[in-house]
């Protein structure tokens, strides 16, 4: 099969088209004939040598795919050979065939193409796990999404808004802010020209938000504490702004604040299977009803994975960057 491998850590052009054997299946896995795959920040970090591959996972990049099940033990499962599915994987997505745990496969939502479906798993699993499971966004809670125009951002905005929550977001240009608002953010804040702490406090009558989804970290954490409501929660999922922060722990104590962090890739199949079940129950109906939509900025042929990574690193995009395999 054709695949994209990382020849050595480095810039986008280290991504090279190659020939690899079709993956051998482990117990509980299915083989997917890949139609499309998503490009995500962890792929870039892996290419740079900053995100080690979990033991036993494919060294090929790519954490989400959509395509046709062509092999695997499907006994006692809702799927059969020939079904179109999308799946979260630990690696190997940039290829014509990919092995995926059966329990991490979801049906392609009605009305979506394989390309659109492939844009869902990585961000939808991540947002559900961190915003709804870890940070417990519920009831009348409000949410601030940092990096609202990213793939994670557009997913979090739409998901929380569709489930009835007030959503605010930050982005790096007025154009990106308007895109966030079109997706359901009540107000998007241009972090280059506005203070998100001040704006959030004004919009919430001084209370602050209940949950912050943070992929920036660094000096943002102290500012996020200042715009949290009492009992507020920060869900940390990336460190784009740096791995160190100085925070006022007095506020954390007095106002019962929580800061949690997680990475999804190394978690066991059973953990991800539970997320898949909740997504199919709670979120897939919203996609099929048109209340949540895939946001794809641009797709590239598989052989142009380097160009896709260069676009991601430019941060010009709003939404997902994809690879079209078939």
Tell whether 196 and 316 lie within a shared domain. Answer: no
Per-residue pLDDT reduced to its tens digit, 25-35: 999 999 999 99
User: Does residue 110 sit in the same domain as residue 129?
Assistant: no
What number is the average pLDDT over the span 256-284?
96
User: Do residue 300 and residue 186 come from a single domain?
Assistant: no
Based on the domain organization, do 233 and 285 belong to the same domain? no
Exposure b/e, 271-295, CB count within 10 A at least 16 = b: ebbebbebbeeebbebbeeeebbbb
Among the candidates 237, 261, 285, a domain finishes at 261
Average pLDDT over residues 216-231: 96
Query: Are 184 and 216 in a shared domain?
Result: yes
> What's the number of domains the chain is made of?
2
Q: How far apart are CA 70 and CA 54, in angstroms?
A: 25
Unique residue bearing structure tokens 């090929």: 60
Residues 291 and 313 in one domain: yes
Token couple for 227: 């715009």
**pLDDT over 70, % of the chain:** 100
**Distance, first Cα to last Cα, the chain:** 12
Cross-strand bridge partners of residue 171: 190
Q: Are residues 217 and 175 in the same domain?
A: yes
Q: Give the model's pLDDT for residue 75.
A: 86
Closest CA to 41 of 104, 103, 126: 126
* pLDDT at res. 133: 97
Last residue of a domain, one of 245, 261, 277: 261
Please report the DSSP string for 48-105 in residue order: HT-SPPPTTS-SS--SEEEEEEEEE--TTSS--TT-EEEEE-SS--SBSEEEEEGGGE
| pLDDT given at position 304 | 98
Q: Is the pLDDT of residue 321 over 90?
A: yes
Cα(307)–Cα(59) distance, integer angstroms: 20
- How far from 38 is each of 42, 151, 188, 221, 282, CA to CA, in Å? 11, 10, 25, 29, 22
- Which structural domain range is residue 223 located in? 124-261
Beta bridge partners of 213: 145, 235
pLDDT (mean) for 276-292? 97
State residue 227's pLDDT score: 96
Q: What is the CATH number of the domain that holds 318?
A: 3.90.180.10
Q: How confident is the model over 37-73, as pLDDT tens digits?
A: 999 999 999 999 999 899 999 999 999 999 999 999 8
- Note the pTM of the prediction, 2 decimals: 0.95
Looking at residue 240, what is its pLDDT? 87
Choose the final residue of a domain: 222, 243, 261.
Answer: 261
> Would you give the DSSP letter of residue 140?
T
Domain co-membership, 225 together with 298 = no
Count of other CB atoms within 10 angstroms of residue 8: 8
The neighbour count for residue 200, using CB atoms within 10 Å, is 26
User: In this structure, are 65 and 158 located in the same domain?
Assistant: no
Burial of 252 (0-12, 13-18, 19+ CB in 10 A): middle
Q: Given a cut of 90, is residue 254 above it in pLDDT?
A: yes
15 pLDDT above the threshold of 90: yes
CATH assignment at residue 249 = 3.40.50.720
Structure tokens at 137: 């966004």
pLDDT digit string, tens, across residues 124-173? 999 999 999 999 999 999 999 999 999 999 999 999 999 999 999 999 99
Q: Are residues 16 and 128 in the same domain?
A: no
Q: Residue for token digits 């690879």?
A: 323
SS3 state at 183 = coil
Contacts of 194 (CB under 8 A, 6+ apart): none
Q: Are residues 232 and 201 in the same domain?
A: yes
Q: What DSSP state is assigned to residue 326?
A: -
- Looking at the fold, whether 102 and 14 belong to one and the same domain comes out as yes
Structure confidence at residue 76 (pLDDT): 86
Q: What is the pLDDT of residue 73?
A: 86
């Amino acid at each position: 099969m054709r695949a994209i491998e990382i020849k050595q850590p480095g810039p986008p052009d280290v991504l090279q088209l190659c020939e690899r054997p079709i993956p051998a299946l482990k117990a509980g896995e299915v083989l997917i004939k890949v139609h499309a795959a998503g490009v995500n920040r962890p792929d870039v970090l892996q290419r740079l040598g900053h995100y080690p591959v979990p033991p036993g996972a494919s060294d090929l990049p790519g954490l989400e795919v959509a395509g046709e099940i062509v092999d695997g033990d499907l006994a006692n499962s809702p799927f059969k050979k020939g079904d179109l599915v999308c799946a979260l994987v630990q690696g190997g997505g940039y290829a014509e065939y990919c092995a995926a745990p059966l329990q991490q496969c979801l049906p392609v939502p009605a009305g979506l193409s394989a390309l659109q479906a492939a844009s869902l798993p990585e961000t939808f699993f991540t947002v559900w796990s961190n915003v709804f499971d870890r940070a417990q966004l519920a009831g009348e809670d409000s949410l601030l999404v940092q990096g609202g125009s990213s793939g994670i951002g557009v997913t979090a905005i739409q998901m929380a808004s569709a489930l009835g929550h007030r959503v605010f977001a930050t982005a790096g240009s007025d154009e990106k802010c308007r895109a966030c608002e079109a997706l359901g953010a009540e107000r998007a804040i241009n972090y280059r020209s506005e203070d998100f702490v001040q704006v959030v406090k004004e919009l919430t009558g001084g209370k602050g938000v209940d949950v912050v989804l943070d992929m920036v970290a660094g000096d943002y954490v102290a500012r996020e504490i200042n715009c949290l409501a009492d009992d507020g929660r920060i869900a940390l999922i990336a460190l784009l702004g740096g791995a160190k922060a100085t925070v006022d722990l007095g506020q954390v104590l007095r106002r019962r604040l929580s800061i949690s962090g997680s990475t999804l890739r190394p978690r066991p199949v059973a953990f991800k299977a539970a997320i898949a079940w909740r997504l199919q129950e709670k979120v897939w109906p919203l996609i099929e009803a048109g209340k949540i939509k895939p946001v794809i900025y641009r797709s590239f042929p598989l052989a142009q994975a380097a160009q896709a990574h260069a676009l991601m690193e430019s941060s010009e995009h709003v939404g997902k960057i994809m690879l079209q395999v078939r």
